[in-house]
Amino acid sequence: SKMVPQNPANPVKLADAIANEPRFADEAEREPIVQTLLDMAQKLEGLYRHASTHAAGIVIGDRPLSELVPMYRDPRSDMPVTQFNMKYVEQAGLVKFDFLGLKTLTVLETAVKLIRRRGIEIDLATIPLDDPDTYAMLSRGEVVGVFQVESAGMRKALIGMRPDCIEDIIALVALYRPGPMENIPTYNARKHGEEEMASIHPKIDHLVKETQGVIVYQEQVMQIAQELSGYSLGEADLLRRAMGKKIRAEMDKQRERFVSGAVERGVGKPQADFIFDLLAKFADYGFNKSHAAAYAVVSYQTAYLKAHYPVEFLAASMTLDMGNTDKLADFRQDALRLGIEVLAPSVISSFRPFEVGENRIYYSLAALKGVGDAAVEHIVAQRGEKPFKNLADFCERVDPKIVGKRVFESLIMAGALDCFGHDRASMMAGVERMMGLASLAQQNAVSGQHDIFGASLGAQSQALNLPATDPWLAADRLHREFQVVGFYLSAHPLDEYKAALQKMRVQTWAEFSAAVKRGAAAGRLAGTVTSKQERKTRTGNKMGVIAFSDTSGQYEAVLFSEGLAQYRDLLEAGRSVVITVAAEDRPEGVNLRINSVQSLEDEASRIQKALRIFVRNAAPINTLAGQLAVRGEGQVSFVLIKEEGEGEIEIELPNRYRISPQIASAMRAVPGVVEVELV
């Protein structure tokens, strides 16, 4: 099979592969069974491999379907299936419908239920379609989560259109497709009085007034044929079909009918021919208005809820996109922009869905990788009306068969157990002890026994002493959090470099991508590596696709073979770096190519001049001395805070040391250190 070229775009027939590959003949001559195999394979080639069922197609007949068409039972469904495909069932006399499920409808329903908890009843069927706040939000392009208009292109079109009525949204849904989208600037210019609306013919101008003189809908083609040439509704539908299919003979027949009808009603033949050609052009990609209107209304409903109830709307959207961490990151970023607090996951306050509070969203436990619905439902059920008192109480009340070691580790890494006041590193080191306590509690619960002295588990609970271990560095803690959450939630690794990045004049991704759209072709960015993929190019050389995250979003950049070999070690997941890039604005987005990579820690250490460590006594000094092992250019001083606010004593060390935000972060984690200040 490896001798048959694999080209999905242009599949090679087996006969051609055999003719062009001499090894087939050699193998067939050596083993006759190979020739039998090739003969059978050519007979089977092109036949259906399996029976598949249309995802949404439902057929309806006036009698049992088995009397009209051959039937088949799909083993994956209880519903009978027609053996004829969608083309032939209609010819057999059945009516076919496509019933499509839409996740957005569930988002709307979920948001309405959340709003109802505030005592507010929303009937989406009766909300006003002329709400100024909704159209103002759409005109600003604030459309994260808004159905149909989330893409960068749609956002740009909305900002240009500045919609103020539902008809604008309907037109945009119909126009934003290859072909018709070239008419969006014309629509916008005419809407805002920047361009005069051209007349097609006085008899039909009123039919295209709603769409600024642009023919957008198939219904408009049919109405024009009725008005101008006296078509019946049935004839107009045949015209629409003929124009869509571009059948030459049918088009010639329709042209004769259209032009003669128009001439009879006082339209000149040249103008009638011109209008027919115009209709044929637009009918090629004309959109069904009723379809566009249905989608536009759902789009408006999502926009209305976001404009007036953003907390509930975003929580519902996050719940329905729980498995898509890129979308969750976008929703969370949008929530922060709107001043909505997104609380980190916690076994005390979180549930399976994203829940809402007063201008806040509680992060879902089920959205964490490695946790799962069963574990979350068990934790929430065990919590009930009685919150977990401490970590030991949590361990005793959960079933380790449901909340296993992997779940415990994911909860620790995500910060969902931070509420009990223990350090994440010590909990991770003591996860076996936590599992042991959970197992013992379950065994005793099943047997109905206490310990051998007749006491309850209180003694064991008190004995849940977690191992003493060094806290994780901020970068390590956040990288582990990223692995479970899918993005940086509680903080970002670049936060501690904020002052250094300002001095280095490094742009954020949001700033740079906006600059590229204005014409910039190169820049300097900082980012934390979230993933690295190595691939082979067509020429066989290696290239890297590196994903980065900064405080404004996530982005990708490519790196070719020489650069990949030079910078591979710096581009490991979790490392923070400074990169120089070449950029190109393409239709699918901004494309980046990496030119150079430097360690952000090294770059930041070069510009830091001094480090001040605030302490109350000498207890942490020996531990801190270990952090100052490398000599450098930085000045270090200890500031002793005297008792009862009597002042401070600053002691400057005689030597110079290497200092950086990461070193400062490690020092802050040392017990007894009050604060560390980089200057």
Q: Which range has highest mean pLDDT (233-242, 249-258, 412-421)?
A: 412-421
Residues 301/108, Cβ–Cβ less than 8 Å: yes
Last residue of a domain, one of 83, 98, 113: 98
How many CB atoms are closer than 10 A to CB 562? 10
pLDDT for 505 equals 86
Stretch among 2-11, 222-231, 439-448 having the lowest mean pLDDT: 2-11
Claim to verify: residue 467 and residue 501 sit in the same structural domain: no
pLDDT for 284 equals 65
Claim to verify: residue 411 and residue 478 sit in the same structural domain: yes
Claim to verify: residue 355 and residue 475 sit in the same structural domain: yes
In eight-state DSSP terms, residue 417 is T
Structure tokens at 355: 């829940």
Distances (CA, A) of 10 to 5, 6, 13, 436: 10, 9, 9, 59
E-assigned strand segments in 148-187: none
Claim to verify: residue 388 and residue 529 sit in the same structural domain: no
- The DSSP bridge pattern shows strands 341-343 and 360-362 to be parallel
621 domain-assigned: yes
**Mean per-residue pLDDT, 17-30:** 83
pLDDT at 618 over 90: no
Last residue of a domain, one of 548, 569, 602: 602
Give pLDDT tens digits for 534-577. 888 877 788 999 999 998 888 999 999 889 999 999 999 889 99
Claim to verify: residue 332 and residue 455 sit in the same structural domain: yes
Claim to verify: residue 329 and residue 474 sit in the same structural domain: yes
10 domain-assigned: yes
In eight-state DSSP terms, residue 611 is E
pLDDT for 524 equals 93
Q: How far apart are CA 556 and CA 563, in angstroms?
A: 16
Claim to verify: residue 332 and residue 395 sit in the same structural domain: yes
Quote the number of domains for the chain.
Answer: 6
649 domain-assigned: yes
Q: How confident is the model at residue 231 (pLDDT cuts 50, 70, 90)?
A: very high
Residue labelled with tokens 């990609």? 285
pLDDT for 657 equals 86
Q: How far apart are CA 353 and CA 117, in angstroms?
A: 15
Residue 5 lies in domain = 1-47
Q: How confident is the model at residue 455 (pLDDT cuts 50, 70, 90)?
A: very low
> Where is pLDDT greater, at 53 or 421?
421
**Mean per-residue pLDDT, 333-359:** 95
Claim to verify: residue 635 and residue 527 sit in the same structural domain: no
pLDDT for 30 equals 85
**Mean per-residue pLDDT, 35-39:** 88
291 domain-assigned: no
Helix or strand run (H / E) with residue 39: helix 32-44
Torsion on CA atoms 18, 21, 27, 32, rounded to nearest 10 = 20
Claim to verify: residue 524 and residue 475 sit in the same structural domain: no
Last residue of a domain, one of 547, 569, 602: 602
pLDDT at 350 over 90: yes
> Where is pLDDT greater, at 48 or 264?
264
104 domain-assigned: no
Q: How confident is the model at residue 1 (pLDDT cuts 50, 70, 90)?
A: low
Distances (CA, A) of 58 to 55, 61, 367, 390: 9, 10, 34, 55
pLDDT for 288 equals 86
- CB-based burial label for 269 (10 Å; 0-12, 13-18, 19+): exposed
Q: Which residues pair with 559 in a beta bridge?
A: 544
Claim to verify: residue 377 and residue 440 sit in the same structural domain: yes
Claim to verify: residue 363 and residue 394 sit in the same structural domain: yes
Give pLDDT tens digits for 137-147. 999 999 999 99
212 domain-assigned: no
The residue among 635, 636, 640, 605 whose CA lies nearest residue 620 is 640
Which residues, in sequence order, are CB contacts of 521 under 8 Å at separation 6+? 582, 583, 584
Residues 94/65, Cβ–Cβ less than 8 Å: yes
Give pLDDT tens digits for 250-289. 888 888 899 999 999 988 999 999 998 888 877 667 788 9
Residues 104/147, Cβ–Cβ less than 8 Å: yes
Give pLDDT tens digits for 150-203. 988 899 899 999 999 999 999 999 999 887 888 899 999 999 999 998 888 898
208 domain-assigned: no
Q: Which amino acid is at 637?
A: S
Stretch among 233-242, 304-313, 593-602 having the lowest mean pLDDT: 233-242
Q: How far apart are CA 309 and CA 356, in angstroms?
A: 11
328 domain-assigned: yes
Claim to verify: residue 331 and residue 434 sit in the same structural domain: yes
Distances (CA, A) of 13 to 10, 22, 40, 104: 9, 16, 14, 43
Give pLDDT tens digits for 307-319. 999 999 999 999 9
